[in-house]
Amino acid sequence: METLAIALFLTGLAATVVWKLYQLYRAPHDASLRSLALCLVCIACSYLPAMPDGRPGFDHIASHNMAKLVQNLLLLATSYFLMCFYLHSVADEHIGRRRARREAAVMVVVMVIITVAAKTAPGEAIAVGFRAADMTNPPVVVFYLGAGLYMLYTLAAASWWTRRYARLSGRPHATGLWLAAAGLAGMSFACATRAIFIIIRAFGGAVPDTVTSGVSLILMFSILAFIVGVTYSSARSRLDAFRMWRRHRRVHRELQPLWELLSEAFPEYVMKPSSSSWRDRWSARSVHRRYTRRWAECRDCLVRLSPYLLDHAPDGATLDTAPPDVLAARLRQAADAARRGAPVHARAMPVAMPHHEHRDDDVRELVALSNALRRQPD
């Protein structure tokens, strides 16, 4: 169970880091986004010295306890950049920078304290990890308690800010904020619980391993919930954009029979494509542009063809209420007459018009007419 949770967490973390770095590349001057990206990068990097192959390398390059020290320094930086994300989001630029510098000073003080504690701790007193560490040793207590209390302070403040803005936001932003707030609350709970464990063990008490493992799982899932929360809004927007892209591609293909019939009759109404490259063909912007162009060309050509439809229509027939199958058969006859250049006497009239004046309704009418053409033999 724990291995599966670790794999799930690392996979989600890696995907989120890549996504936020891409967003930062698109908006390099966004201070809030930069802080959030650095926060996630620090989280990811903090797991490198904790890996089985990473800890001996850090300890060999520097000294004992170095891997655990680097990991905790990165976690402190994670908490700091998380706080900076909110400082830049809720305050004006000048106030945000000033408070960020003040919080940076606090973080540096805590970093110096835990670094001194790690250097003065005997042997591998810290490198053995939180569960096996001898908390009766003062440097070990200072190391773990100092880092834990600072993270508790920053995470609790971030959780309060997140809940505050979740109440003021609408979906889907509120959903992501509530997930992030739950993750931050879980991390705060884990930090507070571990601080209590440190105090109990410092006075010679014992904490069952099952309880410690449970808190570690809560921490891991809380971090995962926070990551999902901060990416939920963007992921939801991308999913909606993908659905729109897929729908426009489908409609573009469904309009093919109608477009081919009308473009042969009136080739001058067909607009030239901007590019024929593979990238332009599959990009979202190109798909939306080709969808809009095909809809406009079909509608313009239908208006241009309507006089031929009226000239070849039975007496009393109308164009706006005719069923698609009936209108499709008449379209072929009218298109043949238009290609021959036959004279017409009627005026242009609306064809296959929707009951509501909305593009989606108009497109549905054109798709129904195109599908009727596809069902009929040439």
User: Does residue 248 lie in a domain region?
Assistant: no
| Beta carbons of 18 and 40 less than 8 angstroms apart | no
CATH of the domain at 34: 1.20.1070
CA distances from 273 to 79, 261, 281, 293 (A): 50, 18, 10, 9
User: Does residue 225 lie in a domain region?
Assistant: yes
Residues 231 and 269 in one domain: no
Residues 189 and 80 in one domain: yes
Q: Number of H helices and number of E strands within the chain?
A: 13, 0
90, two tokens: 């809720």
| Phi-psi region at 272: left, alpha or beta (left = phi > 0; alpha = psi -120 to 50) | beta
Tell me: pLDDT of 377 over 70. no
Residues 193 and 229 in one domain: yes
Residues 206 and 341 in one domain: no
Residues 290 and 338 in one domain: yes
Distance CA 158, CA 188 (A): 10
Residue linked to tokens 């997930």? 179
- Tens-place pLDDT, residues 301-333: 888 888 887 765 555 455 656 677 778 878 888
In this structure, is the dihedral angle defined by the CA atoms of residues 41, 43, 46 and 52, taken in order, positive or negative? negative
What is the secondary structure of 178-226 as a DSSP string? HHHHHHHHHHHHHHHHHHHHHHHHHTT----HHHHHHHHHHHHHHHHHH
Range of the domain at 299: 255-375
Residues in Cβ contact with 2 at an 8 Å cutoff, skipping those fewer than 6 apart: 213, 217
Residues 318 and 233 in one domain: no
Residues 223 and 368 in one domain: no
User: Does residue 219 lie in a domain region?
Assistant: yes
pTM (two decimals) = 0.69
Residues 94 and 174 in one domain: yes
Residues 227 and 201 in one domain: yes
- Tens-place pLDDT, residues 222-240: 888 888 887 888 788 888 8
Q: Is 317 helix (H, G, I), strand (E, B) or coil?
A: coil
| Beta carbons of 363 and 288 less than 8 angstroms apart | no
- Tens-place pLDDT, residues 97-108: 888 889 999 999
Out of 239, 274, 296, pick the residue that ends a domain.
Answer: 239
User: Does residue 310 lie in a domain region?
Assistant: yes
Distance CA 271, CA 268 (A): 8
- Tens-place pLDDT, residues 323-365: 777 788 788 888 888 888 777 766 777 777 777 777 788 888 8
Q: How far is CA 226 from the centre of its chain?
A: 13
User: Does residue 246 lie in a domain region?
Assistant: no
Distance CA 90, CA 207 (A): 40
Tell me: pLDDT of 150 over 50. yes
- Tens-place pLDDT, residues 158-200: 888 888 888 887 777 888 889 989 999 999 999 999 999 999 9
Out of 213, 239, 265, pick the residue that ends a domain.
Answer: 239
Amino acid letter for position 40 = L
| Beta carbons of 269 and 297 less than 8 angstroms apart | yes
Stretch (H or E) spanning 13: helix 2-26
Residues 14 and 144 in one domain: yes
| Residue 242 burial (C-beta neighbours within 10 Å; 0-12, 13-18, 19+) | exposed
Cis previous bond, 172, omega within 30 = yes
Domains contained in the chain, number: 2
User: Does residue 244 lie in a domain region?
Assistant: no
| Residue 67 burial (C-beta neighbours within 10 Å; 0-12, 13-18, 19+) | buried
Residues 58 and 97 in one domain: yes
Residues 286 and 154 in one domain: no
E-strand stretches of 93-203: none
Distance CA 210, CA 274 (A): 64
Residue linked to tokens 């880091």? 17
| Beta carbons of 77 and 70 less than 8 angstroms apart | no
Out of 197, 215, 239, pick the residue that ends a domain.
Answer: 239
pLDDT of residue 111: 94
